[in-house]
Amino acid sequence: MSNSVLESLVAGNKHHVEHLDADYFEGVRDSQEPQVVSIGCSDSRVPVEALWNTNKAGVLFKSVNVANQVWTEVDGTLVVNDVVGYAVASLGVSDIVVLGHTGCGGITAAYESVVGDGAKDLPVAVEAAVSRLVPLVEEARELGLFDEDTPTDDAVNRLVEYAVVRQVEFLTESDEVPESTDCWGFVYDFQHAYGDDDGAAYLVAANGDSDPETVVEWVPDEFACRVKSIR
C-alpha cells in the first residue's frame, strides 16, 4: 500500500538533504540566536521564509496560527503568545514581525460572525481563536472601516490590515515585550489589494505607528512603495 502524499513528503525531504550546503547548520547546531520572530498565518499560500529570502538556519523564529495572532488568552486576559514570549524572554530577539495576508480565512470568519452572514460551525479551538478577533472587527465597524455596502473582499482586506496594526500596538504596549524591541506589521498581498506585485509584503505599522507618512520614514527611499494602507 502506498500513499502519494507521504511519498511526496519523503521525496521532498530527500531533495532537501541532497541540496543542503555542508555548512548550513554551522554555528547553530547547539543553540540559536535569531534576530527576528515572525508571527504569520497558517495559510498555505504564505511562504514565511521564502518571502523574506531567508534561507539560512537560525535566522527566523516562527509562529504560525489562525490569522497570525500575537496573543492568546490566559485566565480571561490577553497576553503575548508562547512563541513571542519565548522569543523575547529567552532568545532576546531584536525584532517582532506581525505578518498578515490578504484574503485571510480567520479574519473572514470573524467578519461573518459580526455581520451575521452565516459563520460556519467551527472546531472548539478554532472558534476560540476566531473569537479573539471579533472585538477587532467590531472596533473597525465602529470606526467606519466598513459598512453594509462594503464588498466582502474589500472589508476583509481592510480588517486584515486593521488587525495587524492593532496587534503591533498591543505588542508595543505590552509589559512582556522590552521597549528596545522593534515591532513591525506587514500584509502579504496575493490579491492585488495594495498593488500589482504578487507576493509583495507591505509595511502597514511600525512600532505602534500606522500613518503611512510616519511609517515610510523607517524604510530606505527605494522601498517607499512598500509602505501603504487600504483602510
* Cα-based distances in Å from 187 to 92, 101, 149, 166, 198: 25, 5, 24, 13, 12
Per-residue pLDDT tens digits for 19-46: 999 999 999 999 999 999 999 999 999 9
In percent, the amount of the chain with pLDDT more than 90 equals 95
Q: Which helix (H) or strand (E) holds 7?
A: helix 4-19
Q: What is the mean pLDDT of residues 129-134?
A: 96
pLDDT at 116: 85
pLDDT for 164 beyond 70 = yes
pLDDT for 1 beyond 70 = no
| Confidence bin at 55 (pLDDT 50/70/90) | confident
Q: What is the CA radius of gyration of the chain?
A: 19
pLDDT at 122: 84
Per-residue pLDDT tens digits for 144-161: 999 999 999 999 999 999
Per-residue pLDDT tens digits for 86-123: 999 999 999 999 999 999 999 999 999 999 855 578 89
CA atoms of 71 and 77, how far apart (whole Å): 10
pLDDT at 190: 98
Q: Which residues are catalytic?
A: 41, 43, 45, 101, 104
pTM for the full model? 0.95
**Mean pLDDT, all residues of the chain:** 95
Q: What is the mean pLDDT of residues 174-199?
A: 97
Residue with cell 470573524: 110
3 state SS of 64? strand
3 state SS of 98? strand
